[in-house]
Amino acid sequence: MTCEQAKPRMTDYWSLTLGEAEQKEFSAHLASCEACRSEVSRVGALWQSLDLLPLEEPSGKVRERFYEMLGAYRQGLASAETQPAKRWWTMPAWQMAAAAALLAVGLGAGYVARGNGQPPAEVSQLREEVASMRQLVALSLMQQQSASERLKGVSWSYQVEPSDTEVLNALVTTVNHDPNVNVRLAAVDALRPFTGSPATHLAARNAVVQALPKETAPIVQVALIDFLAELKERNAAPELRRLVSDPDIDSGVRKRAEWALERMQ
Amino acid sequence: MAEVSAGQVARLALLFERHHRALFRYFVSMSNHREQAEDLVQEVFFRMLRYRTSYDPAQSFTAWMYQIARNAGVDQVRKRSAVQVVDIDTYVDRRAELVSASAGPEESASRGQDLALLRRAMDQLPEDKREILVLSRFQGMKHEDIAEVLGCEVGTVKVRVYRAIRALEQIYFALEREKVS
């Protein structure tokens, strides 16, 4: 390898993206070329120091504006889909016949709609899309690195259907594994709506029972105990008794566990 | 993006959550203007919706996104028909303030000065060199994707990234010498 061939490979070398064969060739060249060796070390230090430049963060307005824009765009799409039918009505040759036909169709449709209680297909589709968007936002935010973003994700979970198992699973993961106490605490509260849905109530209840032995922060332990007492969840009784008899446990948590056991009887 | 392109526009929310910060940083690096960068992020996602059917799933999404970003940036400069005047000293001072408070005061001050100098050197790089360095170093893009965005060969990208870092080195040391003298 010549110096000219080695130079464009330096950035790959610093980024550890050279292939095995190239790496060998490059190292062999460095071993025999003092000038390239010095350049790799000097410019490499500058390349690495770029990592230290502070990262700019966008303001919260960016997200707000994006979701407003997305909502407006989708509304526009929905109304654009209904427009061809309206134009058809305005054609003079069809106006009289269309008026009569529409009256008949309208009466018929009204009768049918009242009979089966189903919303129009477009409305159902729009609802599904909104639900899907809310689910996506909640799930994406809960995976963010920043605790405040994950907290926002937990708040978004209140806007999904309580039968949404994907969001429930994400909340359960948050309750069990999130390193931030405030996020875990918010996620415990966010599980409540899921205990009211036939599709998810069992999974949500079990998640609360299983989270209690793993939890170490007193404030979250108390929240879990309150939740279990509210649910009158008898499967939690052994863990509550363990907490009552554990001398190392926080006194506030112990008292709350005693109270919960009494309430369950 | 393939799903957005097929009509599930709500899926754009997922792409927004994944990429809006990186896009914002790209625009800030290129313009030194936060508000303008936020407007451009919005514009890029709007264009993704508008031109969603032109997205080819065989193409790299990142490359497609930065192609839109570059066009949006160029259009905005044209619209404003004037280059933004940046108060570089204010900007550099603000950057220096952001240096980690965890270091000791002396270390922090010295690191802050070095970083301020580095930031200043970045700002003085010619736009084409700064862009390729930002895409390669800060956005973590593969050379193949950068080649697609810039419309050139992968080999050319490697050479241009190398030249950009060397140019940065020269500016950085020139600024350092200025500071000492």
Task: Say whether both B93 and B74 belong to one domain.
Answer: no
Task: Say whether both B98 and B56 belong to one domain.
Answer: no
Q: What is the mean pLDDT of chain B?
A: 79
pLDDT digits (tens, 9 = 90+) for A221-259: 988 999 999 888 888 999 999 999 988 888 889 988 999
Task: Say whether both B66 and B137 belong to one domain.
Answer: no
Give the one of B13, B95, B133 whose C-beta lies nearest to A136's C-beta.
B13
pLDDT digits (tens, 9 = 90+) for A132-166: 777 777 887 887 777 888 888 888 888 888 888 88
Distance CA A59, CA A65 (A): 11
pLDDT at A111 over 70: no
Cβ of A58 within 8 Å of Cβ of B38? The answer is: yes
Q: Pull the structure tokens for residue B175.
A: 């600024």
Q: Is A245 part of any domain?
A: yes
Long-range CB contacts (< 8 A, 24+ apart) of B38-41?
B38/A58, B38/A59, B38/A61, B38/A62, B38/A65, B39/B76, B40/B69, B40/B72, B40/B73, B40/B76, B41/A58, B41/A62, B41/A66
| Count of domains for chain A | 2
State the CATH number of the domain containing residue B148. Answer: 1.10.10.10
Cβ of B16 within 8 Å of Cβ of A77? The answer is: no
Task: Say whether both B151 and B103 belong to one domain.
Answer: yes
Task: Say whether both B69 and B93 belong to one domain.
Answer: no
Q: Write down which residue in A15, A36, A51 finishes a domain.
A: A51
Q: Which residue has the tokens 């264009």?
A: B47
pLDDT digits (tens, 9 = 90+) for A203-215: 999 999 999 999 9
Distance CA B153, CA B155 (A): 5
Q: For position A106, what pLDDT does the model report? A: 58
Q: Calculate mean pLDDT across residues A46-56.
A: 85
Q: What range does the domain containing B165 cover?
A: 89-180
Which residues from A are below 8 Å from B138, CB to CB?
50
Give the one of B12, B98, B168 whose C-beta lies nearest to A46's C-beta.
B168
Distance CA B14, CA B20 (A): 10
Q: Is A174 part of any domain?
A: yes
Q: Is A109 part of any domain?
A: no
Q: For position A242, what pLDDT does the model report? A: 92
Q: How confident is the model at residue B92 (pLDDT cuts 50, 70, 90)?
A: very low
Q: Estimate to the nearest angstrom the gap between the alpha carbon of A121 and the chain centroid.
A: 28
User: What is the predicted ipTM?
Assistant: 0.73
Q: Pull the structure tokens for residue A236.
A: 């939690």
Distance CA B11, CA B24 (A): 20
pLDDT digits (tens, 9 = 90+) for A67-104: 888 887 777 777 666 655 444 444 444 444 454 555 55
Instruction: Say which amino acid occupies B57.
Output: P
Distance CA A178, CA A172 (A): 10
Q: Is A126 part of any domain?
A: no
Q: What range does the domain containing A177 cover?
A: 162-264
Distance CA A204, CA A197 (A): 9
Q: How confident is the model at residue B169 (pLDDT cuts 50, 70, 90)?
A: very high
Q: Is A147 part of any domain?
A: no
Q: Is A100 part of any domain?
A: no
Task: Say whether both B100 and B37 belong to one domain.
Answer: no
Residue A168 CB burial class (10 angstroms; 0-12, 13-18, ≥19): buried
pLDDT digits (tens, 9 = 90+) for B98-108: 333 344 444 44
Chain A residue set in contact with B, beta carbons under 8 Å? 7-12, 42-43, 46-47, 49-50, 52-59, 61-63, 65-67, 69-70, 73-74, 77, 129-130, 132-133, 136-137, 140-141, 144
Closest among B24, B36, B23, B28 to B67, alpha carbons compared: B23
Q: Minimal Cα–Cα distance from A13 to chain B, Å? A: 11
Which residues from B are below 8 Å from A74, CB to CB?
9-10
Identify whether the C-beta of residue B32 lies closer than 8 Å to the C-beta of residue A66: no
Task: Say whether both B72 and B105 belong to one domain.
Answer: no
Q: Pull the structure tokens for residue B34.
A: 């936060």
Q: Calculate mean pLDDT across residues A126-130.
A: 69
Distance CA B42, CA A65 (A): 7
| Count of domains for chain B | 2
Mark out the alpha helices in A143-247 (DSSP H runs). 147-156, 165-177, 181-190, 201-214, 218-231, 237-245
Residue of B nearest to A11 (CA): B162
Higher per-residue pLDDT: B136 or B93: B136
Q: For position B18, what pLDDT does the model report? A: 86
pLDDT digits (tens, 9 = 90+) for A34-50: 999 999 998 888 888 88
Q: For position B98, what pLDDT does the model report? A: 36
State the CATH number of the domain containing residue B23. Answer: 1.10.1740.10
Cβ of B49 within 8 Å of Cβ of A70? The answer is: yes
pLDDT digits (tens, 9 = 90+) for B94-130: 334 433 334 444 444 455 557 888 888 998 999 899 9
